[in-house]
Structure 1
Amino acid sequence: MIKIYHNPRCTKSRQGVAFLEEKGVEFKVIRYLEEAFTFQTLTEVIAELAIHPMELIRKNEAIWKSNFKGKELSDAQIIQAMVDFPKLIERPIVVNKGRAVIARPTEKIEEVL
């Protein structure tokens, strides 16, 4: 089943949910600020995205700027930062059958349908 990691306060994330609804596909919404990622789950999603962990970071977030910016961090430390501070995670993320995209722009969702 298609999963969308969603933050309802985010316009792009709401657009991702609307896109999936318009396509008429079944999907599961995971509100990742409430249902927190585990280290393992986030690591798996990053692998499905086929990106480096740093590419999933929202670098303009105050949490990033005040706690992590300019520091030399391993991939594991970056993933742990996102687990500890899920607001740092770029959104929305859509996962389907072992593949994933960051749905920015929303049309990128087509890549995993």
Structure 2
Amino acid sequence: MTVTIWHNPRCSKSRQALQLLRDNGVEPEIVEYLKTPPSEAEIRAVLDKLGIEPRALMRTKEKTYKELGLAGVTDNDKLVAAMAENPVLIERPVVLKGGKAALGRPPEDVLKVL
């Protein structure tokens, strides 16, 4: 079964998670989500697999988050749309395998999907 990582090569946590996967014999499909953003449907699917609300997948300290005034938004559909339109808002890395997903914060958490 394929393992996929939503990866940002400039992020140290994302690089650490990728290396952990490789150290455990897994060569994942790498999706540089800033270049190939996930759709709203893909984000919702990941949220379901993680069992979290949209804001828990967001980088709330990101400049874009503040510029868009997302702190006061309570509509989950609007938060998902904001992530799809501005993938820099998505916390990384996210690792997917089958019906499982893990957010690599800390990086070791990605091993939960293996």
One-letter amino acid of the counterpart of residue 65, structure 2: W
1:64 paired with 2:65, answer: yes
1:75 paired with 2:76, answer: yes
2:4 is matched with: 3
One-letter amino acid of the counterpart of residue 40, structure 2: F
Paired residues, number = 113
Quote how far apart the aligned CAs of 1:43 are.
0.8
For 1:55-113, what per-residue CA distance to the aligned partner results, in whole angstroms no more than 9, with x for missing partners?
00100001101212432331110000000110000000011121111111111112111
TM-score (norm 2): 0.94
CA distance in 2, matches of 1:70, 1:111: 30
For 1:7-41, what per-residue CA distance to the aligned partner results, in whole angstroms no more than 9, with x for missing partners?
01100001111111111113111110111111111
Change (3 A) 1:70 1:97: closer
TM-score (norm 1): 0.94
- Please state whether the residue corresponding to 2:5 is helix, strand or coil: strand
Aligned residues: CA RMSD: 1.1
1:21 paired with 2:22, answer: yes
CA distance in 2, matches of 1:105, 1:70: 24
